[in-house]
Amino acid sequence: MRFVLPKGRLFKGSLEILRKAGVELKPPENRELIVKNGKYELLLARSFDVPVYVEHGVDVGIAGSDVVEERESDVLIPLELPFGKCRLSLAMPAESLTEIEDMEGFRIATKYPNIARKFFERRGVDVEVIKLHGSIELAPKIGIADAIVDIVETGNTLRANGLVEVEKIMDVSALLLVNRVSQKVKFEEINRLVLKLKEAGRNDV
Ligand code: PRP
C-alpha cells in the first residue's frame, strides 16, 4: 500500500496517527522522496500536491481540508483526523480595515486563488487575486496587496505583521484521502485502516 504525506506541518502528526493505527512508515534519512518499509511505501510531496497524487493513483494520503478544497481533487474522504486544526481567513492591515462589500477592485494575495475567488464571488465583490507561494503576509506590508487569504493558527504571524483577521472563510483540519480505484481494489485493507485510524483518533482526543 502506498501513502503520500505532506512534507510540511502535518508530517509529524500524520506519521504518528498512522503508527498508532498499525502502519509503521519510516521517515526519510536524507533527501529521498520514496521510503519503503515492508509492504508500505511512503511518498513525500508538497502539501498542495497530496490530493493530486491520490487522485492519480496513490492509495492513501493525508492533507489539510484547505488544500483539498483548493485543488478540487476527485478523491474519497472517509475520515477527518484530529490534528492540523486551524482556519483559513481573510485578513487586512489594521490601519485600513474595510467592509467586504466595499472591497471592489482590491488586490488579494493568497496561496488559495480558487477559494479566494469563490469567496468574493459569493459576496458579489469583484477583486484581483494575486497567487503567491508563501510568506503571504509580506504582500500587504509592502503594498502589493490590500488584503490576504491565508491560514491562521495562533494568529502570531498576523499580529507580527500588523494584520487583523476580518472573516473566517473555513475551518481547516487534516483529512484522510483515498484513491477511488484503491477503495474498490483494496477494499478490506483500506476499511481496516480507516477503522484503526478512527480508533487511534478517538484515543487522541
Ligand atoms: C502558515 C500560514 C501563516 C502562518 C500562520 O505559514 O501561511 O503564515 O503559518 O500561523 P500562525 O497563525 O500560528 O502564525 P507557514 O509557516 O506554513 O509558511 P508559509 O508562509 O511559507 O506558507
**Which pLDDT tens digit goes with each residue over 29-43?**
989 999 999 999 999
pLDDT tens digits along 64-90: 999 999 999 999 999 999 999 999 999
* CB-based burial label for 202 (10 Å; 0-12, 13-18, 19+): exposed
Instruction: Report which protein residue has its CA nearest ligand 1's atom 22.
Output: 134
Average pLDDT on 179-185 reads 98
Domains of the chain: 2-84+173-204 (3.40.190.10), 86-171 (3.40.190.10)
Answer for the pair 145, 130: CB distance below 8 angstroms, yes or no: yes
Model confidence over 110-159: pLDDT tens digits? 999 999 999 999 999 999 999 999 999 999 999 999 999 999 999 999 99
Q: Which atom of ligand 1 is nearest to the CA of 160?
A: 14
Cα separation of 108 and 129, whole Å? 5
Question: Is any ligand 1 atom within 6 A of the Cβ of residue 133?
Answer: no
Predicted confidence band at 20 (pLDDT cuts at 50, 70, 90)?
Answer: very high
Instruction: List Cα–Cα distances, 32 to 28, 29, 37, 41, 45, in angstroms.
Output: 6, 7, 14, 12, 11
Distance (Å, rounded) from C-alpha 187 to C-alpha 120? 40
The reply to whether ligand 1 has any atom less than 6 angstroms from the CB of 30 is no
Q: Give backbone dihedrals phi and psi of 2, rounded to 5 degrees, phi first.
A: -105, 135
Report which ligand 1 atom has the smallest distance to the Cα of 136: 20
- Portion of the chain with pLDDT greater than 70, in percent: 99
Q: Is the distance from the beta carbon of residue 134 to the nearest atom of ligand 1 less than 6 Å?
A: yes
**What is the Å distance from ligand 1's center to 122 Cα?**
26
**Relative to the CA of 135, which ligand 1 atom is closest?**
20
Ligand 1 centroid to Cα of residue 126, in Å, is 26
**4 - beta bridge partners?**
43, 61
Running DSSP on this structure, what letter comes out for residue 126? Answer: -
* Grid coordinates belonging to 105: 477592485
Q: What is the mean pLDDT of residues 156-167?
A: 97
C-alpha cell at 28: 526519510
Going by C-beta distance under 8 Å and a sequence separation of 6 or more, which residues neighbour residue 203? 20
Q: What is the pLDDT of residue 201?
A: 86
Report the separation in Å between the CA atom of 109 and the middle of ligand 1, taken as the mean of its atom positions: 14
Q: What is the reported pTM? A: 0.95
Residue 15: the pLDDT is 97
- Ligand 1 touching residue 160 (CB < 6 A): no
CA of 46 relative to ligand 1 center, distance in Å: 15
pLDDT computed for residue 196 by the predictor: 97
Which atom of ligand 1 is the closest one to the Cα of 157? 14
| pLDDT of 203 higher than 80 | no
Pocket test for ligand 1, best of 10, 137, 157 (most atoms within 8 A of CB): 157
Confidence band of 205 (pLDDT split at 50, 70, 90): low
pLDDT number for residue 156: 97
Q: What is the pLDDT of residue 202?
A: 86
pLDDT of residue 132: 98
Residue 176 has pLDDT above 70, yes or no: yes
